[in-house]
Amino acid sequence: MPLHLVVSSRAVTKTHALCASFLVAVAFVASCGGDGKKTESPTAVVPTESTSDSGAAPTASVAAAQPPGSCSTGAPCKSGEVCCRVQADGPVVEYCAAPIAGQDNPLPACSASLPASLKKAKVSVSYMALACVDSGDCKDDEICVLAAPYSSDSFASSCVSKKSADGFSELCGHGTCKLGKSACEPVNPAAEWAEPRGCNPSTPIQCGKASCERPQVCCAREKGPVCVATSECADLAAGPRWGCTSAKECAEGQVCCVTGHGQMGASCAFSCDYQTQLPTCNKDSDCPEVFGSKPKCKPAENAPSKQVKSCQMQ
């Protein structure tokens, strides 16, 4: 089954609308991206009978602490290989794949080495191609970032310059966070399989008159905004989830993106896509020109306070 790549307008973010729908949870991240789980914690990978084109069966085992670039398949990937985690209509399958010459995007490498059984799947294959799982895997001036989806449900991580990062979030599979005002998310002992953790902002969130200490979020309920655990504001029925109300509450180099005009809350990301997400602002001059139009800084809908504004297209 070939990998179909669909690049977003700026190959950006979180449709962390993820943050609300997907990262809101992400997350794959924002779980995939950003709501990843710790690779050091023992986590069982579901056994499968899938075989690769070469006839070698991806093995299942318990994931312990692994070196950079390794999968939880019992042995680390070779230097330069990509850790592939794929799923169709069955359990997750992991395998290592050699990179394709001339390809910066690691997803095609995973697609080329896709196990034969998954090629026969009746549903599309979801890919997570990890060229890194922690910023410690990268150069001193680089961080490991889970990038925007290349298709509706496929993601990839790579080492990028700290100053020009784009995508969902910094990954901290081994516990390393290089961005200021951030901390590696806690280990989730209930994780079904090892997924790299993400670096979450550590600055409190202004929630009406209250201040939410992380990992709490601000849930904009009908009777007023309240600080609650993420699980208590997990869907739209509970109220829009605000993981930030301004860029000051995000990690170094990130902005606060309001999703769905506020109906789905907001989350921190390296950039907003100006389609489902709009950045917060204080005045019109804070809003950059987008697609030939100049957005206006207006009050965001369903925000915890009237002071929260976003760059809105006219």
User: What average pLDDT does this structure show over 296-300?
Assistant: 96
Dihedral class, residue 241 (left if φ above 0, else alpha if ψ from -120 to 50, else beta): beta
DSSP β-ladder status, 255-259 and 217-221: unpaired
Helix (H, G, I), strand (E, B) or coil at 233: helix
Q: In DSSP terms, which residues pair with 269 in a beta bridge?
A: 255
> Which tokens sit at 87?
């799923």
For 167-218, how does the pLDDT look when each residue is reduced to its tens digit (9 = 90+)?
A: 888 999 889 999 999 999 988 777 655 577 899 999 999 999 999 999 999 9
User: What average pLDDT does this structure show over 94-117?
Assistant: 89
Residues 147 and 137: their CA atoms lie apart, in Å, by: 16
Q: In DSSP terms, which residues pair with 159 in a beta bridge?
A: 144
Helix (H, G, I), strand (E, B) or coil at 83: strand
User: What stretch of H or E contains 244?
Assistant: none
What confidence tier does 80 reach under pLDDT thresholds 50, 70, 90?
confident
What is the reported pLDDT for 122?
81
User: What average pLDDT does this structure show over 282-286?
Assistant: 96
What is the reported pLDDT for 125?
87
CB atoms within 10 A of CB 183: 16
What is the reported pLDDT for 70?
54
End-to-end CA distance of the chain: 42
DSSP β-ladder status, 126-130 and 155-161: parallel
Burial class (CB in 10 A: 0-12, 13-18, 19+), 152: exposed
For 13-71, how does the pLDDT look when each residue is reduced to its tens digit (9 = 90+)?
A: 333 333 333 332 232 223 233 333 333 322 222 222 333 333 333 322 223 334 444 57
Burial class (CB in 10 A: 0-12, 13-18, 19+), 27: buried
What is the reported pLDDT for 194?
59
DSSP β-ladder status, 217-221 and 224-228: antiparallel
This prediction has a pTM of: 0.73
